[in-house]
Amino acid sequence: MLLGPTGVGKTDWSILLAEKIGCPILSADSRQIYKGMTIGTAAPTVNQLNRVKHYFVGKLSPEEYYSASLFEEEAIALIQDLHKHHDTVVMSGGSMLYIDAVCNGIDEIPTVDKALRLEIQELYQKEGIDPIRNQLKMLDPTFYNQVDLKNPKRIIHALEICLMSGKPYSSLRTNQKKTRPFRIIKIGFNRDRDDLYSRINQRVDEMIQEGLLDEVRGFYPLRHLNSLNTVGYKEIFDFLDGNNTLEFAIDKIKQHSRNYARKQITWFKRDKEIHWIDLSDPDVNVLDTILTLL
């Protein structure tokens, strides 16, 4: 498992490692899984995809529902199938919940009915988050007192589960680690902060040059979808809505990307099983360091 913050260099090193040991790559990126969102998610290029077989890249339409629990189910089945032909497979990404889903497992949460999801989304679009918060407070006061009340995504998801299961969402969250039938080696990539932030800023500039504005404009009619509520898209949607200038939107993409990188690092640093590699250190032989752990 190659993990780390956005912009650190996971894609390039995962391809080099996969080529070295002769195996495919499973992407653990909750946005690269959607078709057409190639520039804004820094998805592997056509050339990179031709070099190494990738799974979970460009797999779904942005309109399709997907979750960490579905990723866990599909990824575990795929890994076990790939192990029939490969002793080692590489997973690479930075989506914390997707990585945890595969490495530790997540609770058995019921799949939400499409009609129910649409009903709650329509309520959110018309009346905002307050009525959804109030319903959650009534159905699951325990989770209501734990959740970030400014995070619509988590509040909506919790209410969906409450209504779908007929039980409080908090009662379904056991957080018990699952045993996997394979060994997991976690490699974390990091860089000096100035180096990482410079790479993030440069990558955003390159995205703009590669046509991010046109890519986002093509998704404008779908801007209400959760799959598009992500850094790089929501800022340009605001620009297209006339709420700010393009220059302001670009600056916000950089800022929000840096904020997300900090959040990822904080999350990953809690995991004592991760072997960290500093990519800012010119003396580190990355591949050799990883291969000694296999």
DSSP state of 143: H
pLDDT by residue (tens digit) across 230-257?
999 999 999 999 999 999 999 999 999 9
Lowest mean pLDDT among 139-153, 187-201, 269-283: 139-153
Nearest of 52, 63, 6 to residue 29 by alpha carbon: 6
Q: Exposure string (b/e) for 138-176, b if CB count within 10 Å is 16 or more?
A: ebbeebbeebeeeebebbbbbbbbbbbeeebbbebbeee
pLDDT above 90 covers a percentage of the chain that reads 82
Residue 142 neighbours by CB under 8 Å, 6+ apart:
168, 170
108, pLDDT greater than 80:
no
57, pLDDT greater than 70:
yes
Whole-angstrom Cα distance, residue 247 to residue 256? 14
Task: Note the pLDDT of residue 113.
Answer: 82
Task: Note the pLDDT of residue 124.
Answer: 92
Task: Note the pLDDT of residue 48.
Answer: 97
176, pLDDT greater than 80:
no
Residue 97 neighbours by CB under 8 Å, 6+ apart:
30, 68, 106
Whole-angstrom Cα distance, residue 139 to residue 135? 6
Tokens 């329509």 correspond to what residue? 122
260, pLDDT greater than 90:
yes
112, pLDDT greater than 90:
no
Whole-angstrom Cα distance, residue 289 to residue 280? 15
Structure tokens at 42: 């820094």
177 vs 236 pLDDT, higher one: 236
Whole-angstrom Cα distance, residue 136 to residue 226? 19
pLDDT above 70 covers a percentage of the chain that reads 99
Structure tokens at 5: 């913050």
Dihedral class, residue 175 (left if φ above 0, else alpha if ψ from -120 to 50, else beta): left
Lowest mean pLDDT among 14-18, 22-26, 119-123, 253-257: 119-123
194 vs 125 pLDDT, higher one: 194
Lowest mean pLDDT among 173-187, 212-226, 231-245, 254-268: 173-187
The domain limits of the chain are 2-107+185-291, 114-172
Task: Note the pLDDT of residue 150.
Answer: 83
Task: Note the pLDDT of residue 174.
Answer: 67
Domain 2-107+185-291 has CATH 3.40.50.1110: no
Structure tokens at 273: 């099983």
- Report the SS3 class of residue 112: coil
- Report the SS3 class of residue 94: coil
DSSP state of 178: P
5, pLDDT greater than 70:
yes
Q: Note whether 28 and 92 are within 8 A (CB).
A: yes
Structure tokens at 103: 């490495």
At residue 117 the predicted structure's pLDDT band, cuts being 50, 70 and 90, is: confident
Structure tokens at 7: 């912009």
The mean pLDDT value of the chain amounts to 94
* Beta-strand relationship, 90-93 and 25-27: parallel
Q: What is the CATH number of domain 114-172?
A: 1.10.20.140
**Which residues pair with residue 26 across a beta bridge?**
55, 91
Structure tokens at 124: 């959110």
At residue 177 the predicted structure's pLDDT band, cuts being 50, 70 and 90, is: confident
Whole-angstrom Cα distance, residue 254 to residue 202? 9
205, pLDDT greater than 70:
yes
What number of H helices and E strands is found in the chain?
13, 6
Q: Note whether 98 and 71 are within 8 A (CB).
A: yes
Averaged pLDDT for residues 270-283: 96
